[in-house]
Structure 1
């Protein structure tokens, strides 16, 4: 396949297991160019991108933007759940792109909001209408947990990075305190990510099994499958995770006031989606005392588009170009 030189942008979404790479024309990802690579086969991101360029017929991108699951500072990033580090300079050298940017993966999801079709949004709470300029919030639950506020400014959209998955897990009940003590045995600190993530689901399942006198460990996908089959331990596990997700999202909503909407993204969010109503997500979200009615102002949706981070990278580059 041959592509015109210095025309398309190279965009990539680097997860803990796989990296997805594509070309973009403006803010539109070219779906027929999306490829997936297993991270375990590569020593870093640069070889992945070079392999992609070769696979796409030696394409010469005009810009490169990547979304990484880890903190980004001053054009440098290190993955949280993968032993990879990268800089804008190293990515520029690998791709020969004139413009290079590294975003946190939740930042990329934030830039994707508004470019994801309504068909890929599943409503959880309808909320109330708000101005287009209203703040929004992306909440990512997948390999890890993180959030990103989305601010509409006169100069364009701004999506500040965060590492909020490592904030303290909220504890409202005696069971919450017991769970916090249980998960803190690993790192000495009960973080939100220790419960609300792929490995977090596994932690909660072990906690529930131990509580019932069962020595059993399952992987996250097995727990979700068991929950779909109404297995009691899995159902209880998902109910705990969903309730705590509602509480965390409620705290974040009051912190940022995202009247433009809260968007749940990531593989775990999508897996939770069929269980949110039954497991009491909305009740936990609105459980803010006299502010309970106020909480119903915030629309909440699950983003079903697995390639939204790629779209966000493309949208970010398009905004940079327009400015």
Structure 2
């Protein structure tokens, strides 16, 4: 079915393995237009987007925004696991759109806040409701780890990028020190995402095997499945250790950013852990800040369970660029 020209926006969420593309009518994603493409089958983003436009009967978008799993600087994105050129010129050439933008994927998630169905937001730590313009914090836990602070100013929303997953992992006790030493073999030092990510939970599981003198490896998917059905006590122990460290890191980040408007966990690993975080000690670790423990009650923590939030955020960002906040 042909789409009207210069009416819809094209939005894309580019991961290391797949790219999802959709059309948006204002901030609303047109769900029937969402398509997924395997990156391995394409030479670059331009060929993906041209294929999408062909699949959508030659749609002529008025604007385009892509969210990229990697740092964006001066209109150009780089991705750790994907050798693609992603820049404004490529995006304009591929889509013929009048307005184009490139965001880090966590920035896109930040722009989605306030435009997500509340049914897709799970609260795991209660806190007072902040005023509409209170700072917020998006924390992404998936293939990697990263954050994006969200500031709503009179001039509009600002979502600042970061590479927080590459900061040093905090240490609270002797076991966590040994865990840091165990994971530091990956990159020469213990980074946050060496533990708080999909591959991170696999490392925690392997570490516990070493601690028990019973080395064993399992995939993140299998660890969570075993945690859900209780078939592997080590999987449960790994999830508890993971949840406590995640609580500590999120608490530290909250003291740095003061997100009185809430902390929002996003990503596949965050969604998988959501049913367990409360029981596995996330809230206790989040608030374990000594004399500031009471102050930590100012920050609510939620999990966003909308898998298309980055697409919604990209659409919302384009609306803001057009002056429609």
- TM-score surpassing 0.5? yes
Measured after TM superposition, the shift of residue 95 of structure 1 is 1.1
2: CA distance, partners of 1:111 / 1:152: 10
Q: Which residue of 2 aligns with 1:145?
A: 145
Contact 1:11 1:313 in 2 (8 A): yes
Q: Does 1:135 align with 2:135?
A: yes
What are the Cα deviations for residues 47-82 of structure 1, in whole angstroms up to 9, with x where unaligned?
Answer: 111111111111011111000010000000011232
Unmatched 5+ residue regions in structure 2?
none
Segment drifting more, 36-45 vs 137-146 = 36-45
What is the 5 A alignment of 1:164-313?
Answer: 164-230=164-230, 231-313=232-314
1: CA distance, partners of 2:84 / 2:190: 25
What are the Cα deviations for residues 74-122 of structure 1, in whole angstroms up to 9, with x where unaligned?
Answer: 0000112323231111111111111111000000000000000110000
Q: Which residue of 2 aligns with 1:19?
A: 19
Please, what TM-score do these two structures have when normalized by structure 2?
A: 0.98
**Once superposed, which parts of structure 1, at least 4 consecutive aligned residues long, lie more than 2 Å away?**
80-85
Measured after TM superposition, the shift of residue 215 of structure 1 is 2.5
User: 1:228 aligns to what SS in structure 2?
Assistant: helix
2: CA distance, partners of 1:50 / 1:192: 37
Q: Which residue of 1 aligns with 2:80?
A: 80
What are the Cα deviations for residues 117-175 of structure 1, in whole angstroms up to 9, with x where unaligned?
Answer: 11000011120122101000000000110000000111110001101010110111111
Contact 1:71 1:80 in 2 (8 A): no
2: CA distance, partners of 1:248 / 1:83: 31
2: CA distance, partners of 1:241 / 1:80: 24
What is the 5 A alignment of 1:41-190?
Answer: 41-190=41-190
2: CA distance, partners of 1:106 / 1:299: 19
User: 1:186 aligns to what SS in structure 2?
Assistant: coil
Measured after TM superposition, the shift of residue 293 of structure 1 is 0.8
Measured after TM superposition, the shift of residue 219 of structure 1 is 1.2
What are the Cα deviations for residues 177-196 of structure 1, in whole angstroms up to 9, with x where unaligned?
Answer: 11111111011011000001
User: 1:10 aligns to what SS in structure 2?
Assistant: strand
- Superposition RMSD on alpha carbons, in Å? 0.9
What are the Cα deviations for residues 202-245 of structure 1, in whole angstroms up to 9, with x where unaligned?
Answer: 11111111111223211111111111122111111111111111
Please, what TM-score do these two structures have when normalized by structure 1?
A: 0.98
User: 2:60 aligns to what SS in structure 1?
Assistant: coil
2: CA distance, partners of 1:172 / 1:310: 37
2: CA distance, partners of 1:3 / 1:313: 20
1: CA distance, partners of 2:156 / 2:284: 35
User: 1:83 aligns to what SS in structure 2?
Assistant: strand
